[in-house]
Amino acid sequence: MTEAEMTDFKPGKKLLLTNGDPIIVKAKIGEGGQGSVYKVTYNGAEYALKWYLPNYLKSLKPNCKKFYENLSNNVKSGSPSSHFLWMKAVAATGKNSEGFGYIMDLRPTNYAEFTKFIKAKEHFANTQAVINAAINIVEAFQALHRKGYSYQDLSPGNFFIDKKNGDVLICDNDNVAPDGSNLGVGGTPGYMAPEVILGKEKPSTNTDLFSLSVILFELLFLAHPLEGANCCKYPCLTPQIEKELYAEHPVFVCSTTDRSNGPVRGICSNLMSLWPIYPDYIHDAFQTAFSEEALHDGRKRKTEMFWRDILYRLLDDAVVCPCCGEINFASKSNGKEIVCTECNKKQVLPYSIVSEHARLVAQNGKTLTQFHVAHGSRDITMGTVVESKKTKGVYGLRNESSFIWAVEYPEKPIVSYEPGKTVTLIPQTKITIGNKTIHVEE
């Protein structure tokens, strides 16, 4: 009898949560190296139960009790973000390491594991969905770290993504622990920070930031940032080779200073086709995130706020192709036209709304936020871009704020626009909101 069979719960099996409430097993829906996952009912609703295998619990010793207590504490503290499939309650057959698991919400069927996207078994609907997924992941980890936790073991298997809109659910949150506390988990090869692989540091927020950068690179380019020519020299990766590639001598695959690990034609096809699609500021961001300095010094890692700003800048820069619906980036254009990277059709660039620190390319439904106007919050909407119902490609900005806007069209007197009114976007128009002025550019 295998270990899995020894702990295999049949439909109808009754288990107890630590508060004494019963859960009933309906069916087994998955299994892995740590344990098995079941669909269960609790209080009339369906949940997923992750139950740990005996050998996995033995492998945690002497940290098994600490692991159990941390799991219970995570239940009490609650999820830092709706993007985490967080543990709702602990189930146990006895105290601590005698046998236990936890229940969480079931994952909807429209979410696919990120590894399937990397292996081309699933495909994003468009680049908009890719950017949305990246933002959702960054904001989820920003919430996690702000709560004082570190994740400690990021890998593509932790992320489930809706390919249509980029919504993200993050699973396997049982390794999450207060920053500075480690439960014996090191991480996954290829995603562990070099200092963790070399045994110099334990997993922490700083090492999470390294793993996060790897995940973001894989999202945008469907390739690993450290796997180029150096990796392709080997028919298979042994633990010692992984140590060399990911920790002792890691080199960014798109490095401008060290070409030794550059992409290999025919093998790194995803990277070679996707890298040119994105603007230079994205290239620069990853150059610094995987610079020699950042690879070896956790204090030099790029934060969630850095990535959030860069990714939202991508959304501000985005232009939807009217022919195929793919998005392109205005900053990649030559002159007043842009050629779609998907269907090769030309499009006249819309006008942009510009402030001292931001540029928002006009597209129907985009929002002007407090960030664009006064470097404030992106969560506070000041205006919405709307397309003319009469003339396609002509846009206006509807006042969604509590301010009366002072609008100065070229060679025209200043006009007041109350909340709900729409300003037609004409080049050289100035819009004053409070004590800040933005303007329209071609």
Predicted pLDDT of residue 3: 45
Q: Which whole number is the average pLDDT over 33-45?
A: 94
Predicted pLDDT of residue 392: 87
Residue 166 corresponds to which amino acid? G
pLDDT digits (tens, 9 = 90+) for 73-84: 999 999 999 999
Reference 108, options 32, 52, 29; nearest CA is 29
Q: Which whole number is the average pLDDT over 346-357?
A: 95
pLDDT band with cut points at 50, 70 and 90 for residue 187: confident
pLDDT of 96 strictly over 60? no
347: left (phi over 0), alpha (psi -120 to 50) or beta: beta
The answer to whether 121 touches 151, Cβ cutoff 8 Å, is no
Q: Give the Cα separation of 287 and 257 in Å (integer).
A: 10
Q: Give the Cα separation of 380 and 373 in Å (integer).
A: 11
Mean per-residue pLDDT of the chain: 93
Q: Give the Cα separation of 99 and 333 in Å (integer).
A: 59
Concatenated DSSP letters of 273-339: HHGGGS-HHHHHHHHHHTSHHHHH-GGGSPPHHHHHHHHHHHHHHEEE-TTT--EEEGGG-BTTEEE
Q: Give the Cα separation of 417 and 394 in Å (integer).
A: 19
The answer to whether 278 touches 229, Cβ cutoff 8 Å, is no
pLDDT digits (tens, 9 = 90+) for 2-34: 444 456 899 999 999 999 999 999 999 998 888
Q: Give the Cα separation of 226 and 424 in Å (integer).
A: 48
Predicted pLDDT of residue 7: 67
Predicted pLDDT of residue 2: 46
pLDDT digits (tens, 9 = 90+) for 259-292: 999 999 999 999 999 999 999 999 999 999 999 9
Q: Which whole number is the average pLDDT over 87-98?
A: 77
Length reported for the chain: 442
* Residue 71 DSSP class: H
CA angle at residue 112 from 111 to 116, to 5 degrees?
165
* Residue 244 DSSP class: I
pLDDT digits (tens, 9 = 90+) for 299-350: 999 999 999 999 999 999 999 999 999 999 999 998 889 999 999 999 999 9
Contacts of 265 (CB under 8 A, 6+ apart): 272
> Which residues on neighbouring strands pair with residue 47, listed in sequence order?
40
pLDDT digits (tens, 9 = 90+) for 109-122: 999 999 999 999 99
